[in-house]
């Protein structure tokens, strides 16, 4: 290392080694790294659930009902003698799956509709009024009604979450497209004979991706939260699936005698949502320095 | 101003129209025949047919929609599929706890969040600022129902300071009324507070960096004067906007919070209706909440003139 001998002079970014670049990045984005690490940890728990000293999360063992944490049951056992630790670890699968799918589907639909709405003026009015209509309904209420009417299943929960979240993405993409379409590069692309599909996909889409990724993390965070809320209210994933919301819904009448049954799934849920939010904040700071300065 | 209000209400109409269509269609997309569901497990085909005709379900869908619309225009939200009571009456019975909870939460969140956000922006970079930001990000990640149970466990079960659950009307005594509302208010308010504190901080911080604030300092205004006379009013618009937008969060939170604390409000009515698949109640409550949300945001828009005289309607 010669640069330390020559004093803290300016080193061009390109001259840094890959490790140095990574270190600098981590130093400048501590919250994002914290969020990413925490989220990766949760994903690892979800994928590696069978390897993590768990037992079958639906195995009942009536002799060991409502055992406090300790011994062989790190998080205690529930009213049917099922191992709470195993249930909480397996519960991460439902939450993360729902969160990821909702975020991806919402982003794809929102992007497509937003691009069209921003560029095809004739459709814009209709699309935006429909979006306004959806946004006028509080998201939890819309989701709850949808699941109540279509029946509790993971697929219906995902649809119920995609519907209220999509307008936010559509609005975001549309607002970006409205600014972009006045830019000279769009004009020159048109002048060079690019047709609408090519214009949208090659020139406009890449410019919306940064904002879309940030918005996607927020959609995922609220999807995870609302899924748990729906399950807690009995209008989410079917009760036999050990999702965090379901575990807490079952445990609610045991708050006095077995508080651990509520404590651990809620803690994991909060940490998961926190990790996604931190990641989103970090991404936003990184991708949009103007807003970053304002929020910091 | 009056013309603007009228124009805004007119502009809200198409949106509310789409909401009505949604709410109407929601019930129609449900799998299965509503008439069969109402009739129950032991109904004969004749029974089901009778109910179908009684509800107008045998008519084409656009006729059904027209009937729904004309009833709605007369303030008739239909009848509960289970108790057969008018939905409007059921809603009126449950309004009080919900309004009490929403108002106390709104007051609590605003009174706590705005001073916190201002202090954080004023002392940007300090320990207080960092604490507020950690709270703002953390609070926004907490599930309302989990927070509710934590509070119940700590303050009701362990410390025995407050009632565990339930609701007492203010007519039966103001003190028990308040004691029953404290925990639900805090549980629901913390999330709203986190959102508001963050926006307040960002907004005040941005104003404090503007040129006219520097000018105020330069002409010798005291720091407190700069903050209170010059900065705060200009930072208000984004905060008020967030109060309006965040109201959706509050409505969703009310439904969950009422369930946790066993408050007999509109949220409980909704959840019970969901569990019983009582479509007409779900329709009625959804419409009501959408209307309230629209009105709140109209009021928010109108309040801008109070903070920023450049905005005129």
DSSP for A17-77 reads -HHHHHHHHHHH-HHHHHHHHHHHHHHHHHHTGGGSS---TT---GGGTTPPSBTTBTT-B
pLDDT of A288: 65
pLDDT of B313: 62
Query: B141–A274: do the CB atoms touch at under 8 Å?
Result: yes
Q: How far apart are the first and last CA of chain A?
A: 34
Mean pLDDT computed over B6-28 = 80
Residue of A nearest to B259 (CA): A233
pLDDT of A158: 94
Dist CA B12 CA B151 (whole Å): 39
Shortest CA distance to A92 belongs to which of A46, A47, A56, A52? Answer: A46
Higher pLDDT, B294 or A10: B294
Contact residues, chain B, for A134 at CB < 8 Å: 18, 22
Q: What is the three-class DSSP state of A270?
A: helix
DSSP tag of B313? -
Dist CA B102 CA B252 (whole Å): 11
Query: B15–A141: do the CB atoms touch at under 8 Å?
Result: no
ipTM above 0.85, yes or no: no
Contact residues, chain A, for B144 at CB < 8 Å: 229
DSSP for A78-134 reads -TT--BHHHHHHHHHHHHHHHHHHHHHHHHHHHHHHHHHHHH-HHHHHHHHHHHHHH
pLDDT of B34: 66
**How far does B160 lie from chain A, in Å, by closest CA?**
12
**How far does B294 lie from chain A, in Å, by closest CA?**
7
Check: CB of residue A273 under 8 Å from CB of residue A31: no
Residue of B nearest to A221 (CA): B141
Answer yes or no: is pLDDT of B214 > 60. yes
Check: CB of residue A143 under 8 Å from CB of residue B256: no
- What angle, rounded to 10 degrees, do the helices at A205-233 and B247-260 form? 20
Dist CA B136 CA B115 (whole Å): 13
pLDDT of A161: 93
**How far does A166 lie from chain B, in Å, by closest CA?**
15
Check: CB of residue A226 under 8 Å from CB of residue A143: yes
Dist CA B193 CA B112 (whole Å): 7
pLDDT of A9: 63
Interface test with B, best of A141, A285, A288, A292 (most B CBs within 10 A): A141
Shortest CA distance to A116 belongs to which of A34, A174, A57? Answer: A174
**How far does A278 lie from chain B, in Å, by closest CA?**
8
B259 at the A interface (CB within 8 A)? yes
Query: A234–B275: do the CB atoms touch at under 8 Å?
Result: yes
Interface test with B, best of A99, A233, A244 (most B CBs within 10 A): A233
- What DSSP element (H or E) covers A279? helix A260-287
Within B162-276, where are the H helices? Answer: 174-208, 211-218, 223-225, 232-245, 247-260, 266-276
Query: A277–B157: do the CB atoms touch at under 8 Å?
Result: no
Contact residues, chain B, for A150 at CB < 8 Å: 29-31
Residue of B nearest to A129 (CA): B15
Mean pLDDT by 10 residues, chain A (296 residues): 53 77 76 87 83 71 71 71 78 90 95 87 85 83 83 89 91 87 84 82 82 90 91 85 86 78 88 90 73 43
pLDDT of B5: 79
**How far does A128 lie from chain B, in Å, by closest CA?**
10
pLDDT tens per residue, range A92-143: 888 899 999 999 999 999 999 998 888 888 888 888 888 888 888 888 888 8
Query: A151–B282: do the CB atoms touch at under 8 Å?
Result: no
Per-residue burial over B51-85, b if 16 or more Cβ lie within 10 Å, else e, is: bbeebebeeeeeebbeebeeebeeeebbbbbeeee
Which distant-in-sequence residues (6+ apart) come within 8 Å of B238 by Cβ?
B199, B202, B203
Mean pLDDT computed over B278-294 = 85
- Range from A292-296, B197-201, B267-271 carrying the lowest mean pLDDT: A292-296
Dist CA B247 CA B23 (whole Å): 20
pLDDT of A295: 41
Across the A:B interface, residue pairs with CB atoms under 8 Å apart total 147
Dist CA A147 CA A295 (whole Å): 36
Which residue is associated with the tokens 């990641």? A279
- Taking every pair of Cα atoms in chain A, the longest distance, rounded to a whole number of angstroms, is 77
Per-residue burial over B91-118, b if 16 or more Cβ lie within 10 Å, else e, is: beebebbbebbbebbbebbbebbbebbb
pLDDT of B31: 64
Dist CA A192 CA B138 (whole Å): 50
Residues 9-68 of B with CB under 8 A from A: 14-19, 21-22, 26-27, 29-31
Count each helix (H run) and each strand (E run) in chain A, helices first. Answer: 12, 0
Query: A270–B271: do the CB atoms touch at under 8 Å?
Result: no
- In degrees rounded to 5, what are phi and psi of residue B75? 75, 15
pLDDT of B280: 82
pLDDT tens per residue, range B142-166: 898 899 888 888 888 888 777 878 7
Structure tokens at A132: 């306004």
> Which of A252-256, B29-33, B88-92 holds the top average pLDDT?
B88-92
Contact residues, chain A, for B139 at CB < 8 Å: none
Residue of B nearest to A160 (CA): B26
pLDDT of A137: 82
Dist CA A159 CA A236 (whole Å): 11
Contact residues, chain B, for A144 at CB < 8 Å: 255, 270-271, 274
pLDDT of A25: 75
Closest CB from B18, B252, B294 relative to A141: B252
Contact residues, chain A, for B249 at CB < 8 Å: 138
Cα dihedral B48/B49/B52/B57 (nearest 10): 130
Which residue is associated with the tokens 């929020």? A295
Interface test with B, best of A130, A134, A140 (most B CBs within 10 A): A140
**How far does A186 lie from chain B, in Å, by closest CA?**
32
**How far does A36 lie from chain B, in Å, by closest CA?**
15
Dist CA A9 CA B301 (whole Å): 53
Contact residues, chain A, for B205 at CB < 8 Å: 294
Please name every residue paired with A83 in a beta bridge, in sequence order, or none if there are none: A77
Check: CB of residue A181 under 8 Å from CB of residue A118: yes
pTM above 0.90?
Answer: no
Cα dihedral B232/B233/B239/B243 (nearest 10): 120
The burial of B199, by beta-carbon neighbours within 10 Å (0-12 exposed, 13-18 middle, 19 or more buried), is given as: buried
DSSP tag of B158? I
Interface test with A, best of B9, B10, B126, B141 (most A CBs within 10 A): B141
Dist CA B261 CA B185 (whole Å): 10
Check: CB of residue A227 under 8 Å from CB of residue A161: yes
pLDDT tens per residue, range A259-279: 788 888 889 999 999 999 888
Query: A295–B21: do the CB atoms touch at under 8 Å?
Result: no
Residue of A nearest to B247 (CA): A138
Structure tokens at B197: 């504190």
- In degrees rounded to 5, what are phi and psi of residue A97? -60, -50
Shortest CA distance to A268 belongs to which of A28, A30, A52, A33? Answer: A52
Dist CA A141 CA A164 (whole Å): 10
Check: CB of residue B60 under 8 Å from CB of residue B227: no
């Amino acid at each position: 290392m010669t640069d330390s001998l020559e004093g803290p002079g300016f080193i061009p970014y390109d001259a840094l080694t890959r490790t140095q670049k990574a270190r600098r990045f981590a130093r400048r984005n501590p919250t994002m790294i914290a969020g990413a690490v925490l989220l990766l940890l949760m994903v690892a728990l979800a994928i590696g659930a069978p390897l993590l000293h768990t037992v079958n999360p639906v195995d009942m063992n009536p002799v060991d009902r409502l055992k406090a944490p300790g011994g062989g049951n790190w998080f205690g056992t529930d009213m049917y003698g099922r191992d709470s630790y195993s249930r909480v670890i397996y519960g991460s699968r439902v939450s993360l799956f729902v969160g990821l799918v909702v975020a991806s589907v919402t982003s794809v639909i929102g992007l497509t509709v937003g691009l069209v709405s921003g560029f095809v003026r004739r459709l814009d009015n209709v699309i935006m009024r429909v979006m306004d209509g959806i946004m006028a309904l509080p998201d939890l209420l819309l989701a709850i009604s949808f699941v109540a009417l279509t029946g509790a299943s993971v697929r219906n929960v995902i649809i119920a979450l995609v519907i209220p979240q999509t307008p936010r993405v559509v609005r975001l993409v549309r607002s970006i497209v409205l600014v972009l379409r006045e830019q000279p590069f769009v004009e020159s692309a048109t002048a060079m004979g690019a047709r609408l599909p090519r214009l949208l996909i090659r020139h406009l889409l890449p410019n919306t991706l940064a904002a879309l990724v940030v918005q996607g993390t927020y959609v995922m965070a609220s999807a995870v939260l609302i899924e748990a809320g729906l399950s807690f209210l009995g209008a989410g994933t079917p009760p036999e699936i050990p999702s965090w919301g379901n575990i807490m819904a079952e445990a609610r009448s045991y708050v006095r005698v077995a508080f651990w049954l509520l404590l651990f799934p809620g803690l994991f849920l909060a940490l998961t949502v926190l990790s996604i939010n931190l990641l989103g904040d970090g991404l936003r700071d990184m991708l949009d320095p103007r807003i970053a300065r304002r929020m910091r | 101003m009056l013309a603007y209000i009228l124009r805004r209400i007119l502009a809200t109409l198409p949106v509310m129209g789409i909401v009505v269509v949604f709410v109407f269609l929601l019930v129609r997309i449900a799998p299965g025949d509503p008439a069969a569901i109402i009739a129950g497990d032991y109904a004969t085909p004749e029974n089901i047919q009778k109910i179908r005709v009684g509800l107008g379900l045998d008519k084409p869908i656009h006729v059904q929609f027209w009937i729904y619309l004309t009833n709605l225009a007369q303030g008739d939200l239909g009848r509960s599929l289970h108790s057969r009571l008018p939905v409007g009456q059921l809603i009126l019975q449950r309004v009080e706890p919900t309004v009490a909870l929403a108002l106390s939460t709104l007051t609590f969140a605003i009174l706590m969040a705005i001073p916190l956000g201002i202090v954080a922006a004023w002392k940007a970079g300090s320990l207080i600022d960092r604490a507020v930001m950690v709270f703002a990000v953390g609070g926004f990640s907490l599930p309302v129902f989990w927070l509710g149970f934590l509070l119940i466990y700590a303050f009701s079960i362990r410390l025995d300071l407050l009632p565990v659950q339930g609701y007492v009307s203010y007519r039966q005594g103001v003190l028990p009324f308040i004691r029953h509302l404290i925990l639900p208010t805090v549980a629901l308010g913390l999330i709203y507070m986190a959102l508001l504190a963050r926006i307040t901080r960002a907004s005040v911080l941005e104003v404090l960096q503007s040129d006219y604030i520097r000018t105020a300092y330069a002409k010798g205004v005291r720091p407190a004067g700069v903050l209170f006379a010059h900065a705060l009013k200009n930072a208000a618009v984004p905060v008020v906007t967030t109060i309006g937008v965040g109201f959706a969060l509050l409505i969703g939170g009310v439904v969950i919070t009422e369930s946790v604390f066993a408050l007999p409000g509109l949220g409980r009515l909704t959840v019970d209706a969901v569990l019983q698949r009582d479509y007409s109640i779900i329709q009625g409550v959804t419409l009501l909440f959408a209307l309230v949300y629209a009105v709140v945001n109209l009021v928010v828009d109108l309040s801008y003139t109070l903070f920023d005289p450049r905005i005129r309607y």
